[in-house]
Amino acid sequence: MSTSPLSTPANGGTSGPSPRGAWVRVRGYARDMTPPALALLVFLAAWETLGRLTDPILFAPPSRVWSGFLELLETGRMQRAFGITMNALSVSFLLSVVVGLPLGLVLGRWKLLSDVVEPYLDAIYATPRVVLVPLIILWFGVGYEGRVFLIWLGTFIPIVINTAIGVRNARRDLVEVATSFGADERQLARHVILPGSVPYIMAGLRIAMGRALVGVIVAEIFLDLTGLGGIIQTESAYFRTHRMLAAVLVIALLGTVLIGAFGWLEKRFAAWKESAASS
């Protein structure tokens, strides 16, 4: 907690961006990034050496992975696969939000229902999706619908659970404050319960995004050989490790960007939280 003097806000952010401040920030950033960048260079150099000295199938060196990436780009396979993956990912994520948010709000307000439903959600959540593949093939076949269902199944649950927790954890003292000023149920929801649950919902979306990424790769490797997961599986079957790794890296990058973006959103939406004041 900040115990700032009366005159100035502790963290007002009112001082405009001066060129000097920007320069200091850039320098600080450069200083922060130097050790990890050096570590990455050392790692890449070691990998390159190892790959050249040994079997390139085992340790495809970074230079070969790069050329594998270019090969996949030239034929257009990478772009197509990326589009397919993104399509299934975004559609199932959207469906998860559409189902998860309202269900979470209902479960958060209705204790009896959440008591009886949540054990089943836990059970579905705890089931590795890979073992459901045979069942999903029976139900949806190996096409697009099957993939979307497989991804959705693991993705909507963290949204439900987190939303419900957010609603349930509405601060009782603030409910009391709002009541003391005469707020009714609708105003309570609008002014206290919904805004208070936003950080939980955002955290749920971030977790769900991670789950969706895993789901899309599982679906593309085990259910329907397509997209980026399909490239990984096909290329590794032909021992073209460099191309496979190129696809792995694209997935890793995609995951970092997407989860990073949701992490950023989460911080932004919770800028009012006390914890934000300390940093």
Partner 1 sequence: MSDSKNVKLSIRGIRKVFHIRRAGVRSELLALGGIDLDVADHEFVSVIGPSGSGKTTLLKIVAGLSTPTDGTIAIDGRPVTGPGDDRAVVFQTFGLFPWKTVLDNVRFPLDIRDTAAAEADRLARANIAKVGLEGFEDAHPHQLSGGMQQRVGLARALTADPEILLMDEPFGAIDAQTRELMQEELLKLWSETKKSVMFITHDLDEAVLLADKVVVLTGQPGTVQAVVDVPLPRRRWEYDVRAEPEFARVRHEIWEMLREGIVRHEADEMQAARAAV
Partner 2 sequence: MRYLKHLVFALVVFGAWEAGGRFGNPDVLPPFSAVVAAFVDILFGPLPAALLESLRLLVIGFSTALALGVFLGLIVGRYRWLDRTLSPYFSGLYALPTVALVPLVLIWFGFDLSGRVVVVFLASFFPILINVYQGARDTPPDLLEVARSFGVRHEWGLVRRVVIPAAVPFILAGVRLGIGRGVVGMAIAEVYLRLSGLGTLIATYGSSFQTAYLIAAILPLPFLGIVLTKLLALLERRFQVWST
Angle, CA of 258, 264 and 265, to the nearest 5°: 90
Applying the rule CB under 8 A, the residues between 123 and 142 that interact with partner 2 are: 123-124, 126-135, 137-139
Choose the one of partner 2, partner 1, none that binds residue 75, judging by a C-beta under 5 to 8 angstroms depending on kind: none
Q: CB of 258: closest distance to partner 2 in angstroms?
A: 8
Q: CB of 14: closest distance to partner 2 in angstroms?
A: 30
Applying the rule CB under 8 A, the residues between 247 and 266 that interact with partner 2 are: 247-248, 251-252, 255-256, 258-260, 263
Query: Binding segment for partner 2 among 20-28, 72-80, 102-110, 236-244 (CB under 8 A)?
Result: 236-244
* Site map (CB under 8 A) of partner 2, residues 45-84, x = contact: ------------xx--------------------------
- Report the distance separating Cα 78 and Cα 70, nearest Å: 9
* Residue with Cβ nearer partner 1 (32 or 176): 176
Collect all residues with Cβ–Cβ distance below 8 Å to 34 and sequence separation of at least 6. Answer: none
* Residue with Cβ nearer partner 1 (18 or 279): 279
How would you classify residue 182: left for phi > 0, otherwise alpha for psi between -120 and 50, otherwise beta? left
Q: CB of 277: closest distance to partner 1 in angstroms?
A: 4
Applying the rule CB under 8 A, the residues between 11 and 40 that interact with partner 2 are: 32-33, 35-36, 38-40
* Binding region for partner 2 (CB under 8 A): 32-33, 35-36, 38-40, 57-58, 112, 115-117, 119-120, 122-124, 126-135, 137-139, 210, 213-214, 217-218, 221-222, 229, 232-233, 236-237, 239, 241, 244-245, 247-248, 251-252, 255-256, 258-260, 263
